[in-house]
Structure 1
Amino acid sequence: MTSESASPPANLTSVPRAEFGFPGPLRDQLVAAILDGSKTSTTALVVDYEQEGEPLPEVGSRAVVIDSDDRAVAVIEVTDVRVVPLAQVDLAHVVDEGEGDTSVAEWRAGHERFWHGEEMRAALDDPEFTVDDTTPAVLWRFRLVTDLRLAD
């Protein structure tokens, strides 16, 4: 989800933003997991990229991670991208999301709560939006390149 842009460091102004979840407790949790190294994968929906008019991530591309206060806190680099139906999300990907899920079913339930939530439905401009086993998902892996908090 894009929002009004904060001013990242001058050398990062051309680097795309990576916003995990919506601002608030979930984003705080996800950003903390990126910064401590426990989160090295994430899942998005193809429809979200289409709605935002944004291209899918590409291997080798970098993005600035934005926290709930709209601050640039890290730079990540995409290391792998797969587009698969939700039914094909595997346990390795789930575990590497760093959210504490120990099964694909547990991961799926939590993600469906997010995707079926009011904020996501509003962002997609579809109050009835739902996912199913065939929904195309973007599974991408990344590595932490720079912790920008250390540059303060």
Structure 2
Amino acid sequence: MELLTDVAFLSRVQFALVVFVHFVFVPLSIGIGLIMAINETRYYRSRNPKDEAATRFWVKIFTTTFAVGVATGITMEFSFGTNWADYSRFVGDIFGAPLAAEALLAFFLESVFLGIVIFGRKKVSPKFYLVSAWLVF
């Protein structure tokens, strides 16, 4: 029962739960992104309204999984510094740069093209929309 009053233990339990959710939702969103891009390719080629409806459905599912992945990823990144400060100081020079590059490249690039996929169907050309769907994947 003393463990439930130990702040370090509770912080690490929280981190474990965040990592679990993050590592479930990130691969899930990668797979759903592929499904979304394939459906958009089918719609681009056929112009069938059913394919467009399928793409819209998968975009909604992908957006939800992406949001959960972002929320847990940001929490996880800050938890490295708060829960393992000594470890972060020790490996920060090696681990910090790839983590920052992942946040800048993957998150921001994916966010820009996801914005196009969510809001840009009628605002950009069909070919650019298709490319955006593949870049989100």
TM-score category, normalised to shorter length = under 0.3
Q: Which has the larger radius of gyration?
A: 2
Higher strand share: 1
Give the TM-score, by structure 1 length: 0.22
Question: Higher helix proportion, which one?
Answer: 2
TM-score (norm 2): 0.23
